[in-house]
Amino acid sequence: MTERRVNRPLTNESKYPYIVELAVTGGALGVALSRRIIDFHKARQIQLRHGCCTILKQEGKTRYRWCFSDLKTAQSFIEQFGGTIKQK
């Protein structure tokens, strides 16, 4: 694995400070939800960006993180999919 790939999530969180964390029971997003999240990004013509520790396992749930450059887009994501903002 290249150094660039290892540091990408950290770079994403530095450049895109609005981090949405979504907790999922069962450990996986599922195909339908994953497609909806990809479509959300495509519709807004923004690249899908994961944050550090894309998957955090706590309290029996898996937490996935996405990074956004602006609060409005992060809030729109939460309205559609749930989650909470973890602003740095």
Q: CATH code for 3-85?
A: 3.30.1370
Q: 70 is written with which tokens? A: 């602006």
Q: What are the average pLDDT values for consecutive 10-residue runs of the chain, which has 88 residues?
A: 58 82 80 94 92 66 87 96 84
pTM for this one?
0.79
The DSSP symbol for 56 reads E
Task: Supply the pLDDT for residue 3.
Answer: 46
Task: Supply the pLDDT for residue 42.
Answer: 97
Domain spans in the chain, listed from the N-terminal domain onward:
3-85
> Is the separation of the CB atoms in 13 and 52 below 8 Å?
yes
The Cα 41–Cα 35 span in angstroms is: 10
**Neighbour-count burial of 12, counting CB atoms closer than 10 A to its CB (0-12 exposed, 13-18 middle, 19+ buried):** buried
Which residues pair with residue 23 across a beta bridge? 63
